[in-house]
Chains A and B, each alone.
Chain A
Amino acid sequence: MSVLEIENMTAFYSDFQALFGVSLNIKKGETVAAIGANGAGKSTFLRSITGLVKNNADTFLYNGETLTGKVASDIVGLGIAMVPEGRKLFPSLSVEENLIIGAYQQRPGNWTLDRVYQMFPKLEQRKDIAGTALSGGEQQMVAIGRALMSNPDMLLCDELSLGLAPIIIKDIYSALPSIKAEGVSLLVVEQDINQALEIADRIYCFQEGRISLTGKPEDLTKDQIATAYFGISYD
């Protein structure tokens, strides 16, 4: 049974069409990765799910409820949270306030400030400084913690590895299994193909606003992925 079901989604930035009939579904507890080159429509797709980008779809259901026409602030209340590209911490808020504001809708669940600090102990030591004064990796931890504070059933992660050193990326990605263990479904947008293949149960490859390939990582060959990713074959 799919938690998120999307059939034939289109989205526009004024006159520019960014998505052309994208279909995707995610089952409960599943980790799905969306890969693709810059400008392939991955981020637009995530932002469409959260309601930040206006979209049209034949089917757009979350837990059987339609998300079409819902505003972003209501969609969070239904249990979809996002870690936005570039972290986007609030500069006027301290680390702890950045986390607390994630729980603005007071949705019931297991995630509390203490649990986020347990997961990322560094943050507790630095809870009173401005969120934007942290290093990139620590900011990413705040962004993930902030999203978890809304007690989501589904977490959308946009480019977690962007601009971070490989060792930090490892740290960040090591947090995902414990989130998954809570039964949270994950939709991860990632340019780093290896990282995506490692964590995903299924992948969707985006190319020019369309899905060019989908499948389980173990069923796909490198060549298939390269063709779907770049639109050209290795050979």
Chain B
Amino acid sequence: MIEWANTIVQGILTGGLYAMFASGLAIIFGVMRLVNITHGDLIVLAAFIAMVVIETTGFNPFLSLIIVLPIMFVIGYMLQRGILNYTLGDDLLPPLLVTFGLSIVIQNVLLEVFSADSQRLKAGAIETSSIQLVDGLSIGIFPLITLVTAIAMIVGLQQLFNLTRLGRAFRATSDDATTAQLMGINHRHIFGLAMGLALGLVAIAGVLMAVRSNFDPSIGPTKLLYAFEAVIIGGLGSLWGTLVGGIILGVAQNIGAKIDPGWQILAGHIAFLIVLVFKPNGLFPRTRDD
């Protein structure tokens, strides 16, 4: 019994990381209606940038974020204003194709610069320390930090979207970019900021992922898949939904692995398909009047 409890608790903690992957994707889709195929590769890019920062400065991975996060923000803003804004329109295909192309470019540039070697960021004792709740059930400090960070991120994003001038501009532009311009909102700039914000989240997710597991230039698409599944389970456009989606995915994977180690990934996909069959719009779909 305690073993199963442990499996579920570890799954919930894993879900924190998936929610983090997913929240950036949810913002990009929510504000720009853009399906970002390159999301997973940007997570890996953030991890490599953190690796370089750590090697250069000697910072620990958490501290490296004070450099990595602004870099990713600027990359996001420039990517949106320089390339992605030109792909937006009534047709969903151009942004899909362009981000797919970008995904291939990023993977190959990373491969060229960093080789195919597997890497890992080292955070010291925190990686392995844990709190024992009862006999047979412990919570790792680092996975706990990841989950708490994911929750804090979602709370922060909710506040930003609901209570600030910028948040209102994000929502208005997402509803109707043309009418938003009549309010004096420069929609291209707002889209740039939204992508910058999303890649800021990607920076945090990338660093936490890189401490938790090995990474190499080719793993982006797998991360993208988890992010997609979490977003869709949660219901497109709902931030709390992405957390629930991430947790469902994490728990399903851990239960799968418990039954048979080979079933870990498959169990996550099966949970995703089950949700799709019964709730095609996800668990918390955003209701819209238009």
A residues touching B (Cβ–Cβ < 8 Å)? 50-52, 71-74, 76-77, 81-82, 84, 88, 90-93, 97, 100-102, 104-105, 107, 130, 132-133, 146-147, 150
User: Chain A residues with Cβ under 8 A from B176's Cβ?
Assistant: 88, 90
User: Chain B residues with Cβ under 8 A from A51's Cβ?
Assistant: 181
The answer to whether A92 and B182 touch across the interface, beta carbons within 8 angstroms, is no
Given A71-B186, A146-B183, is A104 in contact with B165 using a C-beta cutoff of 8 Å?
Answer: yes
A71 to B171, CA, bound (A): 21
User: Chain B residues with Cβ under 8 A from A82's Cβ?
Assistant: 182
B residues touching A (Cβ–Cβ < 8 Å)? 165, 168-169, 171-172, 174-176, 178-187, 288-290
Please report whether the interface of chain B is mostly helix, strand, loop or mixed according to DSSP.
helix
Please name the 8 residue pairs, one residue from A and one from B, whose CB atoms are nearest each other, closest first: A76-B184, A105-B184, A72-B181, A132-B289, A73-B186, A92-B171, A88-B179, A90-B175
A65 to B179, CA, bound (A): 24
A130 to B175, CA, bound (A): 13
A-B pairs under 8 A by CB, number: 73
The answer to whether B182 and A101 touch across the interface, beta carbons within 8 angstroms, is no
User: Chain A residues with Cβ under 8 A from B174's Cβ?
Assistant: 92
A-B contact pairs, 6 of them (CB 8 A): A52-B178, A88-B179, A93-B168, A101-B180, A104-B169, A146-B183
Given A91-B289, A91-B290, is A76 in contact with B172 using a C-beta cutoff of 8 Å?
Answer: no
The answer to whether A101 and B172 touch across the interface, beta carbons within 8 angstroms, is yes
The answer to whether A101 and B183 touch across the interface, beta carbons within 8 angstroms, is yes
A92 to B174, CA, bound (A): 9
A202 to B187, CA, bound (A): 35
Q: Kindly list 4 other residue pairs between chains A and B, CB separation below 8 angstroms, not including A90-B175, A93-B168.
A: A73-B184, A90-B171, A132-B290, A147-B182
A88 nearest in chain B by CB position: B179
B237 to A: closest C-beta gap in Å: 9
A191 to B88, CA, bound (A): 34
User: Chain B residues with Cβ under 8 A from A97's Cβ?
Assistant: 168
User: Chain A residues with Cβ under 8 A from B172's Cβ?
Assistant: 90, 92-93, 101
A195 to B187, CA, bound (A): 35
User: Chain A residues with Cβ under 8 A from B288's Cβ?
Assistant: 91-92
The answer to whether A73 and B185 touch across the interface, beta carbons within 8 angstroms, is yes
A147 to B186, CA, bound (A): 16
The answer to whether B289 and A102 touch across the interface, beta carbons within 8 angstroms, is no
